[in-house]
Structure formats: C-alpha cells, structure tokens
Amino acid sequence: MKLLQERIRREGIVRSHDVLIVSHFLNHQLDPQLFLAMAKEWQKRFKGKRIDKIMTIEASGIALAVVAGLVMEVPVVFAKKRGSVTLDDDQYCATVYSYTQKKSYAIRVEKDLLKPGEHLLIIDDFLANGQAVLGLAEIARQAECVLEGVGIAIEKGYQPGAALLRERGLDVQSLAVIRSMDPQSGAIEFDEAEAV
C-alpha cells in the first residue's frame, strides 16, 4: 500500500536491522485517516470472506483493529497481556515468545467473548517472527472459531513470521512488506509486489 510505504519512508526510524520505530503515525501518535485507508484496504483484500469479529492483541493492535471493525461493521476483541483477577477457567490462554524482549508472556481472552463457529480476522501492527499471531491463532483454536485471515500493517518480510503463518494455511495480507532495513543509512527497501 503506497500510502503506508510513503509514511514509513518519511517518518519511520530504523533502530536496528530488526526494529523499526513508527511512533509518529502507528505506535504512539496515531493517524486516524491513514488507519481508515488501511482498514478499507483490508476490507478489499478480505472481501467475500465471512468475518464475524476482529481479534487483536494489546496495545498497538487495538487502534488499527477498532478502525477495521468500524469499516467492516464487526466487534473487536483484544487479547490482554497482563494477568487478570478472573479465574483462568473463564479465559482462553496462550503463551507468546517475544524475540525483541527475549521473554515469554501470557495472553488471555475471556471465554465469553468468542463463540464456537465464529469467523475471525486477526489484525496487528507488525509481523516479525509470527509469535503474536500464532498466540492469537491458538486462542481461536481453543475457542473453536474459524480463522479467516490475518491483516498486518507492516511485515518485515526477511523475518520468518509470514512464511510460518502461510505454511499453516493462513491468509496473511500485509499492507507494507519490508525487504530490508539498514540502520546505518536508515534506508528501507520494500517488496513492491504489495505496493497497490
């Protein structure tokens, strides 16, 4: 998606080979107009699929998912990362390993919020090693929901996540796919096949 690529080029900061900072429009300050354009693009790409609910993970996925939910007219559920006072029996739970933080954390969704047979679309800001999406997919599996696809804002295509998810048969639609990043020059190369 050209619009997103341009924003990444203009305002993205290459912190390291693996870490892109997009605090000016996606992760800290948020650009609702850009989010709306992105949500419409996901709607186009998942057209024809039954989507009953969008699922994401706190915190960065929430804003994107809400705009997507508004456009697709479906509710949004987000997995919580923190522990909860509610009993574990009432929650679906999965473990996510974060390569950037080098630690695992639990994600939880109240069982009440996902009904067996519901068709879900996962939305998230970044796809790197695929662990966050796999955790959400595990929750969808426990809830006996049908996972229709995965909408990602920025995929770092040189990291293994996208291939891992596609190997599992998931329909992954990333709006910008980065082929390489150079922390020295700040240069970012995109996979132009995604630049609609």
Residues that bind ligand 5GP (CB under 6 A): 19-21, 27, 60, 99-100, 124-132, 161
Distance CA 182, CA 186 (A): 5
| Nearest distance in Å: CB 7, ligand 5GP | 14
With respect to ligand 5GP, which residue has the nearer C-beta, 20 or 143? 20
Q: Peptide bond preceding 59: is omega within 30 degrees of 0, i.e. cis?
A: yes
Q: What is the three-class DSSP state of 2?
A: helix
With respect to ligand 5GP, which residue has the nearer C-beta, 53 or 156? 156
| Nearest distance in Å: CB 89, ligand 5GP | 27
| Nearest distance in Å: CB 128, ligand 5GP | 3
With respect to ligand 5GP, which residue has the nearer C-beta, 25 or 46? 25
Alpha carbon of 124 to those of 41, 96, 112, 185, 188: distances in Å? 14, 14, 22, 27, 20
With respect to ligand 5GP, which residue has the nearer C-beta, 11 or 116? 11
Q: Which helix (DSSP H) or strand (DSSP E) does residue 28 occupy? A: none
Question: Is the four-CA dihedral 136, 129, 37, 8 of positive or negative sign?
Answer: positive
| Nearest distance in Å: CB 2, ligand 5GP | 20
Alpha carbon 49 to its chain centroid, in Å, reads 18
Residue type, 9: R
| Nearest distance in Å: CB 14, ligand 5GP | 9
With respect to ligand 5GP, which residue has the nearer C-beta, 144 or 182? 182
| Nearest distance in Å: CB 48, ligand 5GP | 26
With respect to ligand 5GP, which residue has the nearer C-beta, 86 or 104? 104
Q: For residues 110 and 90, is the Cβ–Cβ distance under 8 A?
A: yes
Question: Is the four-CA dihedral 128, 70, 44, 138 of positive or negative sign?
Answer: positive
